Amino acid sequence: MFVCAICLPASALAVKASNPWVAILLVSLACSAHNGWSANIFTLVTDCFPSRAVGSATGLAGFAGGIGGILIAGLAPGFIIEYLGYIPIFILMGILHPIAYLAIRLLIKDTDVVKV
């Protein structure tokens, strides 16, 4: 997850790329890093919660992600892109995964992991 998280800030550079192929490469790197992150985030839930609570924890996390998606989908075209352009979106996209990784490292201790 760390490798995926540190790859995403490079996507913020895509808006300033002078060559379109560099921009495509940076966005592709961000997309692949996000997919790697997503694949691992669900297994993190199974490592931290007992099996009877995994469905509820995953459902709550999915709900929170859906609400966040609804909010950004409403704000992005109507306000952020219109007044500020695409740069804030790419910066936000680049910093949220490293912040989430730091939050995971700070909030989840080795003692929180369920031993099988």
Q: DSSP string of 22-61?
A: HHHHHHHHHHHHHHHHHHHHHHHHHHHS-GGGHHHHHHHH
Q: In 3D, which of 45, 23, 21 has the Cα closest to residue 90?
A: 23
Is the pLDDT at 111 greater than 70, yes or no? no
Tens digits of residue pLDDT in 79-104: 788 888 888 888 888 898 999 999 98
Q: DSSP string of 102-114?
A: HHHHHH--GGGSP
Mean pLDDT confidence for 47-67:
89
Least confident of 29-33, 49-53, 78-82, 96-100: 78-82
